[in-house]
Structure 1
Amino acid sequence: MRRIGSTPAERGSVGANNCPDVVERDDGDFFVIGKLHLLTAPEAERMNELGASIGEGESLVLVPRDCILAAAKQLVFEGVAGPGGT
């Protein structure tokens, strides 16, 4: 496993209860650490309009924008194949 993007501390998160993060598994899938989020009615309506749904066994996780942007920046820099070229 490896962290994608900057560390929570580098993004200004401090403490054990405020550590959003993105971690790549060895198989190329990702763990995303964030806050569990219960959709409001307007959010659920908008998600439906977008064709997005939360399936059985899935959870909606709220991740701060800076965390996702840091991860995306690293992934774009590395290209599709990633650091190992696979």
Structure 2
Amino acid sequence: MSHEFSTARIVRRLGDTPSQRGSASGANCPDLFELADGDFAVIGTDRTEELEGVLPIDASRADHERIVVITRETLIRAKRDIPDA
């Protein structure tokens, strides 16, 4: 996975917009995006402090990584746009 954030470019949203998922303002909601380099960007709630201590024994995160949570509905609605490979 690349960590060249300055050259990242969003290609498309995966799933429905926040307003299509029922957000009254259409803003400040979880979201998923595909980047030009093939990686994915997630807007979610940072729950690193809460979940880091309960990660499975074979899971860990680097100092530059955060544990981000999105709603089940956000991921389910994005499923149709997530490539199989």
TM-score normalized with structure 2 length: 0.71
2:67 is the alignment partner of 1:60: yes
Match of 2:56 in 1: 48
Gaps of 5+ in 2: 1-10
SS at match of 1:69: helix
TM-score normalized with structure 1 length: 0.70
Over 6 Å off, 4+ runs: none
Q: Bigger radius of gyration, 1 or 2?
A: 1
One-letter amino acid of the structure 2 residue matched with residue 5 of structure 1: G
Count of residues in correspondence between the two structures: 75
The 5-angstrom pairing of residues 1-86 of structure 1 reads: 1-15=11-25, 18-40=28-50, 43-49=51-57, 51-75=58-82, 79-80=84-85
Gaps of 5+ in 1: 81-86
One-letter amino acid of the structure 2 residue matched with residue 2 of structure 1: R
One-letter amino acid of the structure 2 residue matched with residue 47 of structure 1: L
Percent of aligned positions with the same letter in both sequences? 35
Instruction: Provide the alpha-carbon RMSD of the alignment.
Output: 2.1
